[in-house]
């Protein structure tokens, strides 16, 4: 990935995370919403923002809806904070990698503790 694209993605990720935590007051967006990854298109026209929230899949859907409704505000604020000729179109997507990692970790722990029970008998 070109270095310029990576720098833009990192800067956009940092600023969107800041906006979500400090400025956006939509009740659909939970307090523990985080920006997991940002992928910027080669021509910088589209920016996919992967969002993770703690809670149910319904909470994730509501958070994405809230962010989509705030996309204009977020794009305008990014325009002030990140220096680009044209601000990319923002696409918000749910990311469940954190929940998947927690689930895998729990399965590993259960397996290890299950093995210990067998060994002690």
| pLDDT tens for each residue of 24-78 | 999 999 888 899 999 999 888 999 999 998 878 888 899 999 999 999 999 999 9
pLDDT band at 115 (very low <50, low <70, confident <90, very high): low
pLDDT for res 56:
82
* Residue 117: both structure tokens together: 């029970």
- Domain residue ranges of the chain, discontinuous segments joined by +: 3-96
Which sign, positive or negative, has the C-alpha torsion 3, 53, 30, 88? positive
What is the CATH code for 3-96? 3.30.300.20
The tokens of 102 are what?
């927690």
Q: What is the DSSP string of the chain?
A: --HHHHHHHHHHHHHHHHHHHHT---TTS-TTEEEEEEEE-TTSSEEEEEEEESS-HHHHHHHHHHHHHTHHHHHHHHHHHS--SSPPEEEEEE--HHHHHHHHHHHHHHHHHHHHHHHH-
Q: What is the pLDDT of residue 116?
A: 52
Q: Per-residue pLDDT averaged across 89-110, rounded? A: 86
What per-residue confidence (pLDDT) applies to 98? 72
Residue 119 has pLDDT above 50, yes or no: no
């Amino acid at each position: 990935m070109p270095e310029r694209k990576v720098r833009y993605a990192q800067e956009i990720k940092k600023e969107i995370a800041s906006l979500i935590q400090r400025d956006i007051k939509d009740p659909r967006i939970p307090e523990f919403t985080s920006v997991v990854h940002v992928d910027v298109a080669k021509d910088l026209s589209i920016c996919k923002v992967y969002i993770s929230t703690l809670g149910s899949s319904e909470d994730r859907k509501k958070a994405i809806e809230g962010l989509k409704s705030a996309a204009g505000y977020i794009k305008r604020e990014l325009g002030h904070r990140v220096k680009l000729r044209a601000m990319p179109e923002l696409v918000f997507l749910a990311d469940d990698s954190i929940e998947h990692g927690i689930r895998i970790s729990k399965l590993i722990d259960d397996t290890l503790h299950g093995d210990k029970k067998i060994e002690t008998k």
